[in-house]
Structure 1
Amino acid sequence: TAEKDLTARSDVYSLGSVLYEMLTGNPPHVGASGQQIIMKIVTEEAAPVTQVRKSVPANVAAATAKALEKLPADRFASAAEFAAALRNPSFAPTTVGTAARTAVPWYRGPSAVPLLVAAVVLLAGLAVWGWLRPDPPAAVARFDIRVASGPDPATIGNGASLAIAPDGSHFVYVTVDGNLYDRALDQLESRALPARGFAPFFSPDGEWIGYADGTALKKIAPNGGPPLEIATVSADLFRGGSWGEDGTIVYAPDISSPLLRVPDGGGPSDTLTRLDTARGVISHRWPEWLPGQHGVLFQACRGSLDRCEVAVLDLRTDSVRYLVPGTSPHFLSTGHLVYTTPDGALLAAPFDPDRMALTGNPVSLLEGVLVRASWNAEVAIARNGTLLYLGGQSGGYDLTLVDSTGTGQVVLPDLTDAQAPRFSPDGRRIAFTAALEGPAEVWMFDRTLETMSRLTFEGNVLYPVWTPGGDTVYYSTDAGSSSRNLWRRAADGSGMPERVLERTGDQYEIALPATGGVALMREVTATGSGPELPLRPVGEPRPWVVTEFSERAPSLSPDGRWAAYTSNESGQDEVYVRAVPEPAGRWQVSSGGGTEPLWAQDGRTIYYRRADTLFATAVQTVPAFAVGRRRIVFTTPFEQLNNHTNYDRDPRTGEFVVLTQTQGNATTIVVVLNWFEELRRRMAAE
């Protein structure tokens, strides 16, 4: 009847329609289509009941007609009045409307009334039960969406690639070429956005998409318009953002910094967290605001994927609580914290967002979620319970030899969690770490024999470095200790590994002098981090550079008088040089961002990386240090880890060894509708 407000009189009309069909065998209005029926309801009176069934008592026909009046005011005020009229043989409306005027034998009325009344009462009860009963659980449905970029299937990007709108109606994904696409779940095609970047995330109202494009944190409206810049971030190292209800964005600007926050309209960023260096934490990543914005979930990492923890910042007390090992935390409206393990298992645990504490044990919900080398899981969850994820394993890394023209030759393909390749002094062997048979260990590749051998067996080893004579390899491991320590072993595998230092704090990469003198090591302690270690047979190490910033990846000049290193003191990573052993002076070598310095063997060039480009800067060291011109050496898809120098140069041929990212084969996104129902069932079953 096209009523604006649904009242008890609307219910009376519905009951009258049901009763009319019970009495006559047909609805009050019929038509060939829904439109025809609606038109008849609005413009025509229903045929009198007695016109079809003459045996219907007059009061029943009149009550039915009154229930079907087009104006609500002309109907019964309630179902009780309707039922009373059906029980009353003398009922007759003051305005007949469509009431029947055909007389029926009086003796038929009393015998029919009880049955009709019982039917109406039953119908009323069924209607009330239908209105009050809880909706049945929505069915969980799974299906794949094959994404495409143009006519060919696209491969989802190698970093954080998925985000879903809060209402679950559409999602954004990033292809391997960096293009952003928007896809509605009820559409067959994706729509390209005028933006390139990675790590997308939605505003709470779904009106904006935040993302990083390599130099800035930006936002773009999914329905059109140009990108708008919000804040500066470090190269391609942005590690996630979350948009609060009040318009504040919390984000991780790079892989070695605490979390920052900035207004979504742009402006200065302020620091939200502090790296817990006493715990060995080197970065905070993948943040998410909790409801009410009293807290932030995030990922605290201590140097490798398997040393990451889900943590929560309580802004009311400015304190951090470490919850559980894992990555990519999300809080759900169901009252659960979900996160992912390094091997791709999605887990959930009851979580109290007010106390910011787990209130129950975690339960495994899903296996085979893709976990990236950027230490995030490819999972996106909407408020309505729609889940998206990529399955499989992240693409590995190829150990590649690259000449000065940028021409590459893969010598070891598809290595898992590989890092820090280093040529032996004679160039015949390459040491690197990789997780080939369990946790990461030091492996050796003999270029002449083309054979592989394993050097360490401690587990979770990082950053191998050759001694100048090529007879020993130094490395960092957490074996047998709660902290990371510097060890060494003979390069031919003979003898037992030897711990170099007995110190508190985590010891990471080391730079050894070519001709004796001072070595530099990055040590993370409660007082800060920086390259700092004079390696001598006796004596204690002393600090070289200790600041509130992140100094890392030291590289010594061949004469041992200078050291290049990476620092974020300017707000982004740049390469600097200081004198050794006393850190007198400070010169900036890179411009526009730079990481992972490497000093050439002739001492006249410092190499460094920015994103996928290798640069060379000319320097002079006598009579004083000076920075010369910069040039591009080559561009290749470098492994995007910058806590240490992740490439090396052959002292004989000038070739470079790099770890290049291999593109995974993820071309489909798994969609699970009403996933919260499955979550509730699984949690209740435990």
Structure 2
Amino acid sequence: MAGIQLTTLGRTELTRTDGGSILSVLAQPKRLALLVYLVVEGSDRLVRRDSVATVFWPDSDQSDARANLRKSLYYLKQSLGPDVLVTRGDEEVGIDPALLECDVVILLSGGPVEAEGPFLDGFHFTGASVEWEDWLGAVRERVRSHAPAQEAGEPADGVVPQRHEEGDGSAGDPVEGTGPMRPFRHFVPTLVVLVLAGFAWLGLRDEADRPTRYDRVRLGSGAQFLTVVQRHYALPPDGSGILFRDSVDRRQGTWWKGQGEIGPTYVDGLDDIFGPVFSPDGRWIAFSRDGGLWKQPLEGAPPVLLVDSISDDFNPGIAWLAEAGILYEDRDHGLRLLDEELGTIRLLATAEEVGEVFHVRALPSGEGVVVTGCDGWCESATPRLSYVDLERDTVVALRSDVWMAWPMSDGRLVMVDSRGAVFASAFDPSDATLGAPVPLLEGVRVAPFPDVTVGADGSLLYIAGGRDRFRERIVWVDRDGRRKTEISLWPDSSRVGALSLSPDDDRLALEVITDESGQQIWLQELPDGALAPLTEGPARARRPVWSPDASSLAFVTQVLGADDQWDSWVSTLPTDASTTTRRTLLRHDEIIMEVAMTADWSVAVVRTGDAAKGEGDVVFTRLAGPAVWQGVLDSGANEYGLALSPDGRWLAHVSEVSGRPEVYVRPFPGPGPRVQVSREGAVAPRWAHSGNELFFRTLNPEDPDGDTRFMVVAEVTTADGFRVESTASLFGTAGYERGPRVPLYEVTADDQAFVMVTSVAFWDWIDGDVVYSRSWYWSDGVQAKLHGS
């Protein structure tokens, strides 16, 4: 039996033999479609990559399409394992049927299968091409011809019938569209869902007899899913569907997606709205447009302008208070209540009291309002939650780092913080106190605000994700490309700009780039010790280099001056963290971008100027005595990626003198001829500690700015001048970060492994997927958490 099972008839599943779902593929519709295509077309023969690229990226030029295919195949390998995909060079690809078994392939080859319905029933992915739809239709026709219907109620030949219990939630079950938007309903009532209950990656597991259910919902072809759900999405009080503003089928507007409806319905009269919210009876929608507060009935009457001047459309902070009252933020960022019955507008709280309003909701009792706000622009401030008591006319601060809060009828508040974590606390309005927080859900996308909303009935809608779409990891890779060790310990919002391995392989110096501290040097104790910053801002610290005894690091310090011009020099710091005061080692008249040292730290080589702009030179100086700079490279072309041989006699570097990046070696400090090592484009030279090998990464001619292709080793001799004896590719490097100018990898002391950087999906959901859970708050799983059972 194959180790992976792909089910496509009636339901779509991808599981391992242990029963675990491969969510990183299932949650990516286009990636799943690519896998299905390769399984059907490439199980008995290999398929040309150009043919595959034409189906999935027909509007891209050939190089872009092939680059997209390479990246997609890389991620499939990461999810399925390295051997499931079979390739022949760079031209053909297929699937090993011994490792992945698919029901439709068995059916088409004449074997018996258990089928619950048609091939990829209801399946769709954003941006699906005509070529894909044609292929899908052709396969469905082949499936029908191999499994013809017999008599009504009888199974087709070779197909074992499956029985659905009423209400089992399968994809083919019709669900009647109901609720306040039913006049707009006209689509066939089917809804493609993915039940995700019990999966730890969602932060929830079923703790009762009835699971908490999560459905992945398609809102329409081409939808962009504008960030910040509160600005563009609304849930009716009965949980009957989703109202959202987006572009569907290239038509911008407001749409209604009812329960069970296969596609959304365009809603007339609600173009260019922000912050829509349903009235408690579900008959009206309030929203902002053109700087005013409006409401519109759902039965066809025109909108009504209520207030002609409110706060920024993009963040209106609107909510209903009973049937006649609407809360909104005015131009001065005060929270106001419009009472239509009395014809009055009342100021409830000022910006000084609650901040500039981000989100507001009324308690079900109507006695008060919970509001979140920021002191200034919310993208750069921490939000806080406050309670406005309408009877006492008081404002009480409740909690910081709460972006949104939704009062529930049981007296609790459901809240979400800046990490995308959803939690609940009991709330007593009589004394404005919050109980202990109870975690309910993690994994809400924050971009830059949490993309989640909770309806009055407890339904949940959110976009899956995290604080960042990707985060980087450090991996140890042997010479055959096998990963040995992996660490991911720094903040999720950070990136790695450079790295340097200590001489005895026990510590790793990282140039870590974060929004909070900029570019600083961090030290990682290996293999699994603490990661801690060595330098601190505001000055940048870049391009670390270890001293021979590992007692200190040299690095480039960069400071932005008062004239907005950068100044830089080479600094050192002890690695025992005994001080954070940097000692200046070298200065140059030009900005220093990169530094390399001989093994004994007697000579420093630096690159000055910005190679990306065609500026700068490569110069060197001896460290004993005052700096006397001498030129090394003067070709006039961009040159970077400096690497000195262990004996200090040879300088490897990248030069664009030929019009594309290539690796060269020349005597150091010279004179002597340079020798070209690479032939088809390459970057990132690194010497083996033995001095007998030079590593580098080759470029893809079709996408020279994208992922590199291979890690290559050149066997060299240096006794009688520099000579390349042979070169060989070690492993593919697609998916490993390359760095802009400096080699973003290191070689271990025994020359048998590499320390590399890879980006991985923080959550493997793409734009176009949202998660919906009807009556989520009242489900057994959530209630069990709230009551500690």
Q: TM-score, normalised by structure 1?
A: 0.43
Q: TM-score, normalised by structure 2?
A: 0.38
